[in-house]
Structure 1
Amino acid sequence: MPKESSSDMRISFVHTKGGVGKTTNTIMLATAAARRGIDVEVLDADPQGSATRWAEVASMREDKLEFSVRSVDARRLQRFPASDGWQIVDTPPGTADEIQAAIDTADLIIVPTHAAPLDIDRVWPTLETVAHRPHGVLLSGVLQHRRLYRETRELFEAQGVSTFYSVVPEREEIKTYFGTNPEELYTFTDICEEILGIEEMD
């Protein structure tokens, strides 16, 4: 597919809680962007290096990802040059310097969260941290027919929280994609299109 002419954009996945799908969402969105024809690279700012390991395992299996994954620390992330395309940043949980660097250098921050009380409780301090940058909550690993999803969506709307229209569905297959070039993108193509729409409005 020919590469699409796209403005440079840095997208950071940020949530102070672990286990909310930052790495999986990073890789899946990057894959969707690459298949959309966007130049994309992943910047792995998590010291655990999950995105980097994903790329290594995929390469060993001869199922390489369609983009590069680079390991960066906070200092390198601050100085990392913009590219003609998308840079998608995976971050650690907690309050690491890498999180702040990912926030400060982002054009868009995505806060992924499950529709679960513990995860939602940690969304609020995360939103306070990213309030000075463009951001949106991405509901991840959800079953849209469940009451908990509907209540979570209504809660964010009532609080005026910017939320992606698209959600990441609960799928066992997504959890098994580690170390592979994902076959099925589910809703990540739609999420990619939403982000492109945000770019057009800027």
Structure 2
Amino acid sequence: MIIGIVNGKGGVGKTTTAIYLAKSFTDKGHKVAVIDLDLQGSASDWADRAEAAGTPLPFPVEVSNLKRLPRTISAVGQDAIVILDTPPGDARSIDAAIEASDFIIVPTQASSIEVARVWETLPSLNGLPFGVLITSARLGTRNLEAVAEVLKGQEVPVFDARIPLRETIRDTFGTVPTKSEGYEKVAQEILEAFQ
């Protein structure tokens, strides 16, 4: 299974989602690999820092580009869950990730400007199964529920899981996440969608 994490906007939690989701699938016993398509290399930087600290991530993070993406996916193996971390604002990389994927996650925060980018992203998904994942959520707020209702009202699939706004999530950059912070539920929802 290949999962693309896409949104044209930066700062919505794509890399965090890639790493935490990979860890959640690994915890469930799946072989997992993350492919970093972002020129900024945030996912590979995360992996390098964890390794340098003596606690490497329990899955590989491979750097790739548009030309090598099919080869990189193939090298990971058919039995792996592959997670594609995409850059913001790079339509060609986002389109390549969508084309390669079996499922798309569109992370967004619960604000008008963030959700506006979701609407821009959806037409490019070409009928693939997908879900919008609300990240950095202020749980229990009216704004959060209003955004979820707007998306559902437009028949946009939204994950039941909400990723909370927590400093502990931001502080895990360069380390192995020890808490799932809701991503185990995201992994479970994806697995259920494919059963």
- After TM superposition, is the score higher than 0.5? yes
Q: CA deviation at 1:113?
A: 0.2
> Does residue 29 of the first structure (1) align with residue 24 of the second (2)?
no
1:120-176 C-alpha deviation (Å, 9 max, x unpaired): 111101011114221110011102211100100110111010111111111110001
2:32 to 31, 37, 40: 40
TM-score using structure 1 length: 0.92
Q: CA deviation at 1:95?
A: 3.1
> Does residue 134 of the first structure (1) align with residue 126 of the second (2)?
no
Q: How does 1:144-155 map to 2 (within 5 A)?
A: 144-155=139-150
> Does residue 86 of the first structure (1) align with residue 81 of the second (2)?
yes
> Does residue 50 of the first structure (1) align with residue 45 of the second (2)?
no
1:119 counterpart SS class:
helix
Answer whether contact 1:30 1:41 (CA < 8 A) is retained: yes
Residue number in structure 2 paired with 1:162: 157
Instruction: Please tell me the root mean square deviation across aligned C-alpha atoms, in Å.
Output: 1.0
4+ residue runs over 4 A deviation? none
Gaps of 5+ in 1: 1-8
1:121 to 97, 109, 116: 116
> Does residue 172 of the first structure (1) align with residue 159 of the second (2)?
no
CA distance in 2, matches of 1:174, 1:83: 30
1:77-134 C-alpha deviation (Å, 9 max, x unpaired): 1343152020001000113322111000100000000001110111101011114221
TM-score using structure 2 length: 0.95
Answer whether contact 1:23 1:50 (CA < 8 A) is retained: yes
Gaps of 5+ in 2: none
Answer whether contact 2:8 2:91 (CA < 8 A) is retained: no
Answer whether contact 1:115 1:148 (CA < 8 A) is retained: yes
Residue number in structure 1 paired with 2:138: 143
> Does residue 73 of the first structure (1) align with residue 65 of the second (2)?
yes
> Does residue 16 of the first structure (1) align with residue 8 of the second (2)?
yes
1:121 counterpart SS class:
helix
Q: CA deviation at 1:187?
A: 0.7
